[in-house]
């Protein structure tokens, strides 16, 4: 592996993401230290370290911690990031909020919103975190998001799905951004 530094780098990135998925803050920090030793230019600052570590789907430690409800690690990561970084999408356009919402992680959703996650950001298929949560049957997340998003920015429309005539989808009706709540 020493002959292939990019493979070694990817192995380290995968390890960082793996520890974020597992929720071990100590193991995550240790893996980040190993990554910084391998490629100091990638990890010159904490923000770079958090955002540079992505797996092949473009998932960051923030995506994994949010989706799995690892609140200690999520808090640690959010404390290092500027608000704009909280909305960084993966390869499919999903933010950490999309992942937390579809996984039903209400506390992670709450923490992300406190750090200016955009509940109306759309992924590559045009879906917001609210829509993803609704389609995944995560009603507690849907209720929480709808209660904490400026209603003037959301419209509910009937889906064109013949199988469930009562299905509705939340969509953005204005520019992205988190209301000041």
pTM: 0.74
User: Average pLDDT, stretch 172-178?
Assistant: 32
Task: Identify the band that residue 158 occupies on the pLDDT scale cut at 50, 70 and 90.
Answer: very low
pLDDT digits (tens, 9 = 90+) for 30-39: 887 777 777 7
Lowest mean pLDDT segment, chosen from 7-16, 67-76, 107-116? 7-16
pLDDT for the residue 37: 78
Q: Which domain holds residue 149?
A: 5-172
CATH for 86: 1.25.40.20
- DSSP assignment of 78-90 equals HHHS-HHHHT---
Residue 180 lies in a domain: no
Q: How many domains does the chain have?
A: 1
Residue 124 lies in a domain: yes
Query: Torsion over CA of 53, 58, 61 and 67, rounded to 10 degrees?
Result: -170
4 burial (CB, 10 Å; 0-12 / 13-18 / 19+) is exposed
Residue 179 lies in a domain: no
Residue 177 lies in a domain: no
Distance CA 17, CA 56 (A): 10
Encoding tokens for residue 88?
A: 């960084």
pLDDT digits (tens, 9 = 90+) for 62-77: 999 999 999 999 999 9
Average pLDDT over the chain, rounded to an integer: 77
pLDDT for the residue 45: 62
pLDDT for the residue 10: 72
pLDDT for the residue 19: 84
Residue listed under structure tokens 């473009």: 58
Residue 181 lies in a domain: no
Distance CA 141, CA 147 (A): 10
């Amino acid at each position: 592996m020493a002959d292939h530094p990019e493979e070694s780098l990817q192995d380290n990135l995968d390890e960082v993401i793996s520890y974020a998925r597992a929720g071990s803050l100590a193991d995550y920090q240790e893996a980040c230290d190993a990554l910084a030793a391998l490629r100091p230019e990638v990890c010159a600052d904490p923000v770079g370290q958090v955002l540079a570590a992505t797996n092949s789907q473009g998932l960051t430690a923030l995506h994994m911690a949010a989706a799995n409800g690892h609140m200690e690690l999520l808090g640690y990561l959010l404390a290092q990031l500027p608000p704009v970084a909280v909305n960084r999408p993966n390869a499919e356009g999903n933010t950490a909020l999309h992942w937390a919402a579809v996984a039903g992680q209400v506390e992670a959703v709450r923490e992300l919103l406190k750090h200016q996650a955009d509940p109306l950001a759309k992924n590559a298929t045009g879906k917001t975190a609210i829509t993803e949560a609704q389609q995944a049957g995560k009603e507690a997340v849907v209720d929480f998001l709808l209660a904490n998003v400026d209603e003037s920015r959301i419209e509910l429309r009937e889906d064109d799905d013949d199988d469930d005539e009562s299905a509705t989808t939340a969509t953005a009706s204005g520019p992205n951004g988190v209301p000041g709540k």
